[in-house]
């Protein structure tokens, strides 16, 4: 999509006749010429049909000793963002489908209900005071008292439309902060482009759609964030650019300490790597570096602070980050859940891979997108490849749920 007129000059490749132009949104921008290994890489799209319950890769999924994985729900095509209502309803967003699904457990049975349909890339969800907020590609809508109207939901009411319509990095993760404001990322409209003032950011608005303010700038494509329950700061994942190399830039975990901070894209990636095209005339020291590098092309998406009590103490207030896994890398990387343990000051103490097995022999058997903490402290993990949600429990509690 052509950016609005106020856009700065497009990618400089357009000016160099020796190197023909690629459109600004193309994921192939920057792909090395004449490199056979690079030519084999292309975006991987999840199949449209969910896998049958007995075809899920549950047995291949590995978690630390004492933890257990079970299927919470299946048959939800392209299951992406997860949110849980006060009554325990699990809401599921999707990128390739057009509906929002509610998972209701009653008398040991799992029921899937469509709460909204005919939507366009309804990837992002938030829930607050009983209201479900839905982020489509370019608008936000809501359903009040959603858990009371699951059987006969009204059409969602649009509250905010002041969003670009770009397909590239246009699907959204949303969340409501401790300030009761709705946070909305607007990614760069392409792999590596100079963006205008309406892109490359995380903005926040009041719940009635007013009062827009940019919270973070220089954001390439964030599809996950949460607030630290200790210091209330916003932590967000951000995906680095493609086609620079197999190993850099790495994806980022960032922390916002003051409103309007700039995290560098597209001038500087991973805090210390000036972009070969746009980095000229800039220094990485102008920008806030990430607090953690989360791996090359690993596609860190949804994340949550663990605020439950079921898991052992060392996981309390730690970040669980779903890494969707790479496509722009010969040897795929990610496809797991990473735990990030923080120090008291909010910086990173250590990391560990918590859940793996989605990547087998350089092929995905599943891809984690988002995590969410249930009231009992167990954790849900969505898998858009299989259209499924897994539940992770610790200790003996898992037997009770069977």
Binding site for another protein (CB under 8 A): 1-2, 20-28, 31, 39, 42-45, 47-49, 95-98, 120, 165-168, 170, 190
Q: Which is nearer to another protein, 39 or 197 (CB)?
A: 39
**Do 117 and 99 contact (CB within 8 A), yes or no?**
yes
Quote the CA–CA distance of 391 and 73 in Å, as a whole number: 9
Shortest distance in whole angstroms from residue 101 CB to another protein: 13
Query: Is the omega angle on the peptide bond into residue 57 within 30 degrees of 0, that is, cis?
Result: no
Quote the CA–CA distance of 178 and 334 in Å, as a whole number: 30
Shortest distance in whole angstroms from residue 188 CB to another protein: 12
Shortest distance in whole angstroms from residue 75 CB to another protein: 9
**Residue whose C-alpha is closest to residue 389's, from 376, 400, 399, 378:** 378
Q: Which is nearer to another protein, 170 or 224 (CB)?
A: 170
Shortest distance in whole angstroms from residue 11 CB to another protein: 10
Shortest distance in whole angstroms from residue 132 CB to another protein: 22
Q: Which is nearer to another protein, 135 or 215 (CB)?
A: 135
Q: Which is nearer to another protein, 47 or 66 (CB)?
A: 47
Q: Which is nearer to another protein, 31 or 282 (CB)?
A: 31
Q: Residue 278: CA atoms inside 13 Å, Cβ hemisphere, count?
A: 20
Q: Specify the DSSP element, H or E, that contains 399.
A: helix 397-400
Phi-psi region of 315 (alpha: psi -120 to 50; beta: other; left: phi over 0): alpha
**Do 48 and 75 contact (CB within 8 A), yes or no?**
no
Query: What is the β-pairing status of strands 157-160 and 388-394?
Result: unpaired
Q: Specify the DSSP element, H or E, that contains 381.
A: strand 379-383
Q: Which is nearer to another protein, 20 or 108 (CB)?
A: 20
Torsion sign (Cα): 315, 126, 217, 169: positive
**Do 83 and 57 contact (CB within 8 A), yes or no?**
no
Q: Is 71 exposed, middle or buried (0-12, 13-18, 19+ CB in 10 A)?
A: middle
Shortest distance in whole angstroms from residue 165 CB to another protein: 8
Shortest distance in whole angstroms from residue 138 CB to another protein: 11
Q: Which is nearer to another protein, 21 or 291 (CB)?
A: 21
Q: Which is nearer to another protein, 97 or 153 (CB)?
A: 97
Torsion sign (Cα): 8, 170, 26, 80: positive
Fill in the DSSP letter of residue 239: P
Shortest distance in whole angstroms from residue 219 CB to another protein: 19
Q: Which is nearer to another protein, 150 or 168 (CB)?
A: 168
Phi-psi region of 386 (alpha: psi -120 to 50; beta: other; left: phi over 0): alpha
Shortest distance in whole angstroms from residue 168 CB to another protein: 5
């Amino acid at each position: 999509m052509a950016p609005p007129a106020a856009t700065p000059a497009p990618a400089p490749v357009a000016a160099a006749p020796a190197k023909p132009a690629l459109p600004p949104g193309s994921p192939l921008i920057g792909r090395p010429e004449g490199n056979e290994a690079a030519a084999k890489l292309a975006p991987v799209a999840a199949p449209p049909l969910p896998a049958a319950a007995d075809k899920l890769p549950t047995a291949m999924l590995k978690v630390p000793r004492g933890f257990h994985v079970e299927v919470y729900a299946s048959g939800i095509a392209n299951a992406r963002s997860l949110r849980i209502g006060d009554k325990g309803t699990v809401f599921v967003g999707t990128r390739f489908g057009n509906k929002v699904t509610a998972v209701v457990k009653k008398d040991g049975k799992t029921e899937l209900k469509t709460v909204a349909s005919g939507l366009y890339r309804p990837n992002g969800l938030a829930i607050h005071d009983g209201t479900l907020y839905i982020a489509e590609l370019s608008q936000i809508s809501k359903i009040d008292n959603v858990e009371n109207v699951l059987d006969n939901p009204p059409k969602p009411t649009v509250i905010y439309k002041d969003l670009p319509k770009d397909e590239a990095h246009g699907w959204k993760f949303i969340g409501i902060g401790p300030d009761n404001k709705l946070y909305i990322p607007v990614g760069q409209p392409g792999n590596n482009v100079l963006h205008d003032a309406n892109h490359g950011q995380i903005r926040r608005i009041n719940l009635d759609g007013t009062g827009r303010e940019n919270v973070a700038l220089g954001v390439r494509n964030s599809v996950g964030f949460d607030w630290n329950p200790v210091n209330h700061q916003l932590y967000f994942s951000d995906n680095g650019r493609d086609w620079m190399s197999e190993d850099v830039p790495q994806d980022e975990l960032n922390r916002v300490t003051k409103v309007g901070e700039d995290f560098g894209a597209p001038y500087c990636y991973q805090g210390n790597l000036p972009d070969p095209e746009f980095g000229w005339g800039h220094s990485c020291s102008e920008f806030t570096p990430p607090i953690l590098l989360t791996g090359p092309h690993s596609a860190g998406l949804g994340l949550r602070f663990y605020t439950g009590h079921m898991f052992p103490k060392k996981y309390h207030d730690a970040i669980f980050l779903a890494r969707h896994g790479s496509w722009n890398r010969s040897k795929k990387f990610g496809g797991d859940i990473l735990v990030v343990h923080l120090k008291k000051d909010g910086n990173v103490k250590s990391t560990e891979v918590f859940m793996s097995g989605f990547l087998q022999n350089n092929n995905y058997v599943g891809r984690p997108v988002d995590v969410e903490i249930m009231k009992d402290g167990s954790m849900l993990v969505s898998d858009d490849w299989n259209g499924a949600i897994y539940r992770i429990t610790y200790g003996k509690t898992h037997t009770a749920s069977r």
